[in-house]
Amino acid sequence: MKLYGMQQSRSFRCLWALEESGLEYEYVPVKLRTEAAVPDSAQNPNYLAVNVQGKVPSLVDGDMTLTESVAILNYIARKAPDSGLIPSEDDQVLAKHDELVSFVLAELEQPLWSKGKHMFALPEEQRIPQMFDTAKFEFAKAINALDHLLGDDEFAIANKFSMVDILLAQTFNWAIRFEFDVPQKYVDLRNRHYDRPAAKRAMDLIS
Ligand SMILES: N[C@@H](CCC(=O)N[C@@H](CS)C(=O)NCC(=O)O)C(=O)O
């Protein structure tokens, strides 16, 4: 199994999950926003054949390719059921887990990515710096909703570490880097989970 990724990107969540899972894999670094002629550029035809959008992460396992980070997380979790990355208690616990996964992607991460797109990812002529304040406003709204969705437990779901904890911790790490207002309890959440041995091993791989 090969994971294509880049430092400081959504690929870190997959790398971390792979380290939690104990599965064997190879990590292949890719360069974003680099000329197509560079062999490890995400715009190089070799990589575009893996991921048509030239984005990371991508996971290749045999004949199958996945190019969405949450699909990759789900795949890793299902291949390594003992890792507990997806809760297996009952349908309602799983449904609450899925709800939080969707929330992180659809609500919490979106203002961060909007800011990223308008800071560096979009072509310069498409960037609108005025939207930074809108992103800040939307992030604060998402935090307010998250306060209601999450309890005060150490882990998000069923008192056990799962892929939602990876998603939350990585998203708050991203929010801190992009200078959003992150409440202290979510800074603590990030620090607590980034202290896990698997997160540290994943971090060592990209440093
Ligand atoms: N929905 C995709 C988003 C992937 C994505 O947009 N990745 C970013 C890095 S975090 C990327 O590769 N951007 C390309 C670029 O900025 O040029 C996922 O969750 O995997």
User: Does the CB atom of residue 68 touch ligand 1 within 6 A?
Assistant: yes
Percent of the chain residues past pLDDT 90, beyond the cut: 96
- State how far the Cα of 201 lies from the Cα of 199, in Å rounded to an integer: 5
Dist. CA 53 → ligand 1 center (Å): 9
- Set out the domains of the chain in order of their start, with CATH numbers: 2-84 (3.40.30.10), 91-196 (1.20.1050.10)
Structure tokens at 76: 């890793």
pLDDT digit string, tens, across residues 153-185: 999 999 999 999 999 999 999 999 999 999 999
pLDDT band at 132 (very low <50, low <70, confident <90, very high): very high
User: Does the CB atom of residue 33 touch ligand 1 within 6 A?
Assistant: yes
Q: What is the mean pLDDT of residues 37-62?
A: 97
User: Does the CB atom of residue 107 touch ligand 1 within 6 A?
Assistant: no
Q: Is the pLDDT of residue 148 over 90?
A: yes
What is the bridge-based pairing of β-strands 58-61 and 26-29?
A: unpaired
User: Does the CB atom of residue 69 touch ligand 1 within 6 A?
Assistant: yes
pLDDT digit string, tens, across residues 74-121: 999 999 999 999 998 799 999 999 999 999 999 999 999 999 999 999
> Which DSSP symbol is given to 125?
G
Task: Using alpha carbons, select from 157, 107, 156, 160 the residue that is nearest to residue 135.
Answer: 107
What's this model's pTM, rounded to 2 decimal places? 0.96
pLDDT band at 151 (very low <50, low <70, confident <90, very high): confident
Dist. CA 33 → ligand 1 center (Å): 11
